[in-house]
A and B are shown apart, each in its own frame.
Chain A
């Protein structure tokens, strides 16, 4: 089954069950990389976070807001959790449920950041939160190794989408 069919079915499922919290898919890095290298005109806003990261949790609502603001447009907010896969049921799922996160959440199941961090962005030293905005068709990308305020995220995303 093609990726797009899966995506379509996935979105239909999500639409069909709006009140239920979404699932957290556990992925390895090649799957994430593939996802982010689709040559389409979608702008991906990829936020790397973790349930143990205070500044990350603080800014999650801003990404949720962006997800809401740009719903129906070619903007995809992806929240990539760097929690350990062993914490999926204990920490990550309950967190996603409790916060009622609507943006898609992935858990990146990799043990050695040295093997993949640089492939996400060469300038990323490894601190989280870290946010990547990218549009492959327009060949644009912007990396932010920082925490955002709501206003900063709005400004940067507006600028990126211009």
Chain B
């Protein structure tokens, strides 16, 4: 009996020790997104407010290492090339802790962005506070923000399209449809979708 009790005490202390830092809640569609200042791959700090001409942003939490993020990489580039001229540029953010995912270090981000010629900023969320504020849980995890007065409102959260494996087999382009609605002054329908992705590699507490 004593053995069993100490076993449970051991289990319990393990649970306490291994408490993960996890986002609580995060943004819902309609919420105001607070701005941030994060280090871009060029070493400079970047805030959304720096781009005053933008009508909104396609904020995508992504990374170097997740196969789903890799599968969507060129589609994210395409999104930027299509929608930046219409006022909705992509802002990519890597939220992973390099201590957990060494392939997602700032240097590796620079290398990836340069070899794939990212046409958008690729920011390092070193403290993971931005991912936590947004409620991002995975890579890729995408948010469309749209400007209303001085505020940036969350207008869409979710998937890029309905087929991660085969870009040519995509039937529904969720984020493009959402942007089309938003640019027509309508609420995105649907305004949120589900997608599979890699867990964000949170710092071990």
A: residues with CB less than 8 A from B are: 52-53, 55, 82, 84, 86, 111-115, 117-118, 124-129, 145-147, 149-152, 154-155
Q: List 19 additional contacts besides A127-B200, A154-B11; criterion CB under 8 Å.
A: A53-B198, A55-B199, A82-B196, A86-B165, A112-B163, A114-B158, A114-B174, A114-B193, A117-B195, A125-B137, A126-B138, A126-B194, A127-B138, A128-B197, A128-B199, A151-B10, A151-B11, A151-B12, A151-B15
Write the B20-55 contact mask toward A (1 if CB under 8 angstroms, else 0). 101000000000000000000000000000000000
Chain B residues closer than 8 Å to A115, beta-carbon distance? 162
Q: What are 23 inter-chain pairs, A to B, with CB distance below 8 A? A: A84-B165, A86-B165, A111-B166, A111-B169, A112-B162, A113-B159, A113-B194, A113-B195, A114-B159, A114-B162, A114-B194, A117-B196, A125-B194, A126-B195, A127-B197, A145-B199, A149-B14, A151-B10, A151-B14, A151-B18, A152-B14, A152-B18, A155-B11
Contact B199 A129 (CB under 8 A): yes
Closest to A53 in B: B198
Contact A146 B11 (CB under 8 A): no
Chain A residues closer than 8 Å to B193, beta-carbon distance? 114
CA–CA, A129 and B197, complex, Å: 9
Q: What's the least CB distance linking B95 to chain A, in Å?
A: 12
Chain A residues closer than 8 Å to B18, beta-carbon distance? 149, 151-152
Chain A residues closer than 8 Å to B174, beta-carbon distance? 114
Q: What's the least CB distance linking B199 to chain A, in Å?
A: 4
Instruction: Judge if B86 is at the interface, Cβ distance under 8 Å.
Output: no
> Given A111-B169, A151-B15, A124–B163 Cβ distance below 8 Å?
no
Interface centre among A125, A149, A155 (most CB of B within 10 A): A125
Interface residue count for B (Cβ, 8 Å)?
30
Contact B194 A127 (CB under 8 A): no
Contact A52 B67 (CB under 8 A): yes
Q: What's the least CB distance linking A142 to chain B, in Å?
A: 15
CA–CA, A30 and B195, complex, Å: 18
Q: What are the 10 A-B residue pairs with the smallest beta carbon separation, nearest first?
A: A151-B14, A127-B138, A112-B162, A117-B194, A127-B199, A52-B67, A114-B193, A125-B137, A151-B11, A127-B137
Instruction: Judge if B129 is at the interface, Cβ distance under 8 Å.
Output: no
Contact B165 A124 (CB under 8 A): no
Contact B195 A114 (CB under 8 A): yes
Q: What's the least CB distance linking B22 to chain A, in Å?
A: 7
Q: What's the least CB distance linking A73 to chain B, in Å?
A: 18
Chain B residues closer than 8 Å to A112, beta-carbon distance? 162-163, 172
Write the B42-82 contact mask toward A (1 if CB under 8 angstroms, else 0). 00000000000000000000000001000000000000000
Write the B111-148 contact mask toward A (1 if CB under 8 angstroms, else 0). 00000000000000000000000000110010000000
CA–CA, A55 and B172, complex, Å: 30
CA–CA, A8 and B168, complex, Å: 42
Contact A155 B12 (CB under 8 A): yes
Write the B161-196 contact mask toward A (1 if CB under 8 angstroms, else 0). 011111001001010000000000000000001111
Q: What's the least CB distance linking A106 to chain B, in Å?
A: 15
Q: What's the least CB distance linking A123 to chain B, in Å?
A: 11
> Given A151-B14, A152-B15, A152-B18, A111–B197 Cβ distance below 8 Å?
no
Closest to B194 in A: A117
CA–CA, A129 and B14, complex, Å: 20
